[in-house]
Amino acid sequence: MTKDRIDDRTGNGTSAEAARLGNSARPAPADEAPSQLVARMRAGERRAISYAVTELEALSARAPALLGAMQEHLGHALVVGFTGPPGAGKSTLVNALIRKAREAGQRVGVIAVDPSSPISGGAILGDRIRMTAALDDDGVFVRSLASRGYLGGLSPAAVRIIDAFDAAHFDLVILETVGTGQNEIDVAEVADVRVVLAAPGLGDDIQAMKSGLLEIADIMVVNKADREGAEQTLHQLKGALAIRADRRHAVPVLKTIALSGIGVDELMAEVAKVGERVATAGIEVRRRRRARYLIARAAADLVNERIRSGEGASLTSLCDGVLSGATTPADAARRLLE
């Protein structure tokens, strides 16, 4: 019964929303075949996409069947990750990029992952408003996700939503994440093209970037090029990148002014270049990498759960070993997994 109520509500949104969705949009009845829903997603029915994304985010009872029905349609979208320190201008640049992509006739899905501390929870709404290019356009779909509960990392829901956008035949899926801790590694695993933003005036971030963000960048961007210190930031980044000769491909360093769209064409061109490289490697490679990531995440969850749910005999003896110094935590972890 609950299900009916939810579907009912989906069918009777506000009139403004209904107008935006168009009259053709129908709700997804609880008994609609997943393949039917996927067909409506591929036809660009906004409400069908919205419904699927919600189901996949919540990992509802229907989600596995839906994921199954989506499989044969996956592999079209290019997934572009934007990461970097808060305030670097990621949302603003993504907004500018959406505009360009739409001009080029591309359909764009955006997943914005915010660090959702109880205090800054409002940041999600801020991003929604900033992405104004997306508001009245059926070729753009924006979904904000909380990163709560994943230690700052990407929620596995993000990967499922990428698949939903992909199955809906979006050309571009943009993933915006704040480059802290686990996030940057996650983006490296999940995105096909990794864009790392820096901006002048954000303090010691270049130093911090050397270890983490610089490692994963396919493209570096110095945003806020209108600000004092941009040249210096650019210089520092190029210097830091030059030290690492281990890359197979040189990492371009671009300057942008996201607010006025300057440099966005160049960024699009570089994204397309990396995209071509990725396409040559094959969609199977990309999808396998995302699958591997999901398995690793699920495995970590399982191990955590097992450890938290109480000590079996083996865990007790592993703990004793670590406490006495006879075993390192790493060795104990290895044995736990065996």
Q: In angstroms, what is the minimal distance from the CB of 259 to ligand GDP? A: 4
Q: Give the x/- contact pattern for Mg ion in 81-100, rule: CB under 5 A.
A: ---------xx---------
**Could you give the CA distance from residue 315 to residue 79 in angstroms, rounded to a whole number?**
40
Toward ligand GDP, which CB reaches closer, 67 or 257?
257
By the 8 A CB rule, do 241 and 214 touch? yes
Write out the DSSP string of 222-272.
E--TTSTTHHHHHHHHHHHHHH-TT-SS---EEE-BGGGTBTHHHHHHHHH
**Residue 224 binds which one of Mg ion, ligand GDP, none, with CB within 5 to 8 A depending on kind?**
ligand GDP
How far, rounded to the nearest angstrom, does the alpha carbon of residue 157 sit from its chain's CA centroid? 9
Residue 175 forms beta bridges with which residues?
Answer: 81, 111
Q: In angstroms, what is the minimal distance from the CB of 115 to ligand GDP? A: 10
Site size with Mg ion, rule: CB under 5 A: 3
**Residue 87 binds which one of ligand GDP, Mg ion, none, with CB within 5 to 8 A depending on kind?**
ligand GDP
Toward Mg ion, which CB reaches closer, 113 or 157?
113
Residue type, 330: A
Toward ligand GDP, which CB reaches closer, 215 or 226?
226
Toward ligand GDP, which CB reaches closer, 174 or 257?
257
Toward ligand GDP, which CB reaches closer, 88 or 278?
88
Q: Which residues of 293-311 are buried (b: 16+ CB within 10 A; e: fewer)?
A: beeebeeeeeeeeeeeeee
The structure tokens listed for 2 are 């609950």
Q: In angstroms, what is the minimal distance from the CB of 122 to Mg ion? A: 12
**Could you give the CA distance from residue 138 to residue 128 in angstroms, rounded to a whole number?**
15
**Could you give the CA distance from residue 8 to residue 124 in angstroms, rounded to a whole number?**
27
**Residue 147 binds which one of Mg ion, ligand GDP, none, with CB within 5 to 8 A depending on kind?**
none
Residue whose Cβ sits closest to ligand GDP: 89
Stretch near Mg ion under the rule CB under 5 A, chosen from 127-135, 243-251, 289-297, 315-323: 127-135
The answer to whether residue 180 forms part of the interface with Mg ion (CB under 5 A) is no
CA distances to 9, 49, 230, 231, 239 from 6, in Å: 5, 16, 50, 53, 55
Toward ligand GDP, which CB reaches closer, 185 or 259?
259
Toward ligand GDP, which CB reaches closer, 20 or 130?
130
List the interface residues with Mg ion, window 231-260 (CB under 5 A): none
Toward Mg ion, which CB reaches closer, 90 or 297?
90
**Residue 297 binds which one of ligand GDP, Mg ion, none, with CB within 5 to 8 A depending on kind?**
none
The answer to whether residue 183 forms part of the interface with Mg ion (CB under 5 A) is no
Residue whose Cβ sits closest to Mg ion: 91
**Residue 46 binds which one of Mg ion, ligand GDP, none, with CB within 5 to 8 A depending on kind?**
none
**Residue 257 binds which one of Mg ion, ligand GDP, none, with CB within 5 to 8 A depending on kind?**
ligand GDP
> Which residue in 262, 97, 105 sits closest to 193, CA to CA?
97
**Residue 92 binds which one of Mg ion, ligand GDP, none, with CB within 5 to 8 A depending on kind?**
ligand GDP
For the chain, where are the alpha helices, taking DSSP H only? 2-11, 15-21, 34-42, 46-58, 63-70, 90-103, 123-130, 156-167, 182-190, 205-211, 213-216, 230-243, 264-281, 283-308, 313-324, 329-337
Q: Which residues of 204-226 are buried (b: 16+ CB within 10 A; e: fewer)?
A: ebbeebbebbbbbbbbbbbbbbe
Q: In what order do the strands lie in the sheet with 219-222?
A: 140-146, 108-114, 172-178, 78-84, 193-198, 219-222, 253-255
Q: In angstroms, what is the minimal distance from the CB of 214 to ligand GDP? A: 17
Residue 203 CB coordination number (10 Å): 8
Q: In angstroms, what is the minimal distance from the CB of 265 to ligand GDP? A: 15
| Residues lying near ligand GDP in the complex (CB under 6 A) | 86-92, 130, 223-224, 226-227, 257-259
Contact positions vs Mg ion (CB under 5 A): 90-91, 127
